[in-house]
Structure 1
Amino acid sequence: MTERPSDTHLLLIPSYNPGPKVYETVLAARLHWNPVWVVVDGSTDGTAEGLQALAQGDKGLRILQISRNRGKGAAIRLGLEQAHLAGYTHVLTMDSDGQHPAEEIPSFMATSMRNPGAMILGVPVFDIGAPPLRVQGRKISNWWANLETLGGGIGDSLFGFRVYPIAPLRQLMRTHRWMRRFDFDPEAVVRMSWMGIDLINVPASVRYFQTTEGGVSHFHYLRDNLLLTWMHIRLFFGFVGRLPLLVRRRHRHRPIR
């Protein structure tokens, strides 16, 4: 396991009832990074206790707990506040279900260290087992996100494997009441783009596990698609109000020919 801890970049894993796959995820993450924090978001499947036991023998692993399920964004916000207090400047967020590539953690962190003012956004490279409805459906969210940022170049708005500078994201979450559940990833990247935060897209493999392989999904097609629809309605009206500013910013950054 990686024993030398970073004093700037933290790996943050929000976790809600992920089943045993979370232990593989955390151990793989620790193999490639130190420190790793897991925010247990009101889990009731026994993994909170298992993770605490795992952390007792590993100084590079810390477990934070929320008493009841409040959503991915709320879990990340707790981690951000604690990371800020501990002096960290960046977090890489990673899902707890084993879908994200732990082996890519060092390269994403290195890219962030070379570009500390930017977001490092994972762009998923799907395997053959990816659900076609999920793959096609995310194209709609990506289209809206790029419209709302005036063609901001967002490679994928929903993929949660990404590095954020803590300060602007923390400021954003303190001033907006939304972004607390499944809407966190797309709304965060759009609003941070509005703040003028640069982004760098980096391909990253993603794997969907079947239930027989220990895969657990909390995505609810109707509920979460309604949540995303309402989110994009909010963002579109916010985009209209910011359009003159975005146009001026785009003009200032237009490449010289």
Structure 2
Amino acid sequence: MNAYPPSASSTHMVLIPSYNPGPKVYETVRSARAQWTPVWVVVDGSTDGSAEGLLAMAAQDEGLRVIVLPHNVGKGAAVLQGLDLAAAQGFTHVLTMDSDGQHPAHLIPDFMAASAGQPAVMVLGLPVFAADAPRLRVNGRKVSNGWANLETLWAGIGDSLFGFRVYPIEPLRRVMHGQRWMRRFDFDPEAVVRMCWRGVKPVNLPATVRYFRADEGGVSHFNYLRDNLLLTWMHSRLFLGFVLRLPLLLARRIKGG
């Protein structure tokens, strides 16, 4: 690493959950560290040797912390581990990003600045896809986005699945500790819906996303059948919750304008 941000933030941190990401994770972490301090990585039971490599990086970099979980617990559960530790150290906001290089690390300062300017909101990345992005992934997310917007009375969620986001830590911790869901791939969409239910407003900022081929070091753990079944079950639960909360959501909407 050649260039670090000039000073560490005491309120905002970058959190990267990581599970068997392959060598791309080192590039991702270096890119994040070039833009922000501190950066934490939660290694979610990886078996690809990346934990050892990341720990070696952290030993040479005071702005990087690596938390290694002994077993794979899922993306949401790994994020929650990081949130609890961050809250204990006094951090108020966290930017989450994936470890596989798809998310735009160069936009970290812009997202953090937007959060600092409006600390009560969540700053959501609105993905800008390249022409070579997989059509199945691009078009498939429209279904989840439609459900998420219905379940929040169109509160302004630009994209429910894109994990490049800044959350206020305490509301998200309360949401996650209050129920047993959101522990795996369902974390990103359920987080924004439940945060909206708690009155945390979304602000959307455009963010480029890149899908890497296998020969470029890309690693994907997305399973079309398994993960879409998980999303279907998640939105079934959320829709029921939406119906039960509808009077409250309508009253809040009328009061707000």
Q: Take 1:213 and 1:145, find their aligned partners in 2: how far apart are those partners?
A: 33
- Which residues in structure 2 correspond to 1:19-58 (within 5 Å)? 19-58=22-61
Q: Take 2:20 and 2:133, find their aligned partners in 1: how far apart are those partners?
A: 21
Cα distance, 1:220 vs structure 2? 0.3
Q: Take 1:253 and 1:3, find their aligned partners in 2: how far apart are those partners?
A: 40
Corresponding position: 1:225 with 2:248 = no
Cα distance, 1:3 vs structure 2? 4.1
Aligned to 1:142: 145
Q: Take 2:86 and 2:132, find their aligned partners in 1: how far apart are those partners?
A: 35
* Residues 3, 60 of structure 1: 8 Å contact kept: no
Q: CA RMSD in A?
A: 0.5
Aligned to 1:90: 93
Corresponding position: 1:10 with 2:13 = yes
Q: Take 1:130 and 1:71, find their aligned partners in 2: how far apart are those partners?
A: 25
Corresponding position: 1:173 with 2:176 = yes
* Residues 120, 199 of structure 1: 8 Å contact kept: yes
TM-score calculated relative to the size of structure 2: 0.98
Aligned to 1:197: 200
Secondary structure of the structure 2 residue equivalent to 1:2:
coil
Structure 1: any 5+ residue segments left out of the alignment? none
Q: Take 1:3 and 1:33, find their aligned partners in 2: how far apart are those partners?
A: 9
Cα distance, 1:129 vs structure 2? 2.0
Secondary structure of the structure 2 residue equivalent to 1:123:
strand
What amino acid is the match of 1:151? W
Q: Take 2:219 and 2:6, find their aligned partners in 1: how far apart are those partners?
A: 30
Secondary structure of the structure 1 residue equivalent to 2:120:
coil
Q: Give the counterpart of 2:237 among 223, 234, 237.
A: 234
List per-residue Cα deviations over 1:48-92 (Å, max 9, x = no partner).
000000000000000001111110000000000000011000000
Secondary structure of the structure 1 residue equivalent to 2:99:
coil
Structure 2: any 5+ residue segments left out of the alignment? none
* Residues 122, 166 of structure 2: 8 Å contact kept: yes
* Residues 18, 44 of structure 2: 8 Å contact kept: yes
What amino acid is the match of 1:158? L
Secondary structure of the structure 2 residue equivalent to 1:122:
strand
Q: Which runs of 4+ in 1 moved over 4 A?
A: none
- Which residues in structure 2 correspond to 1:73-88 (within 5 Å)? 73-88=76-91
* Residues 155, 201 of structure 2: 8 Å contact kept: no
The share of aligned pairs that are identical, in percent, is: 68
Q: Take 2:22 and 2:189, find their aligned partners in 1: how far apart are those partners?
A: 25
Secondary structure of the structure 1 residue equivalent to 2:7:
coil
Q: Take 2:102 and 2:80, find their aligned partners in 1: how far apart are those partners?
A: 21
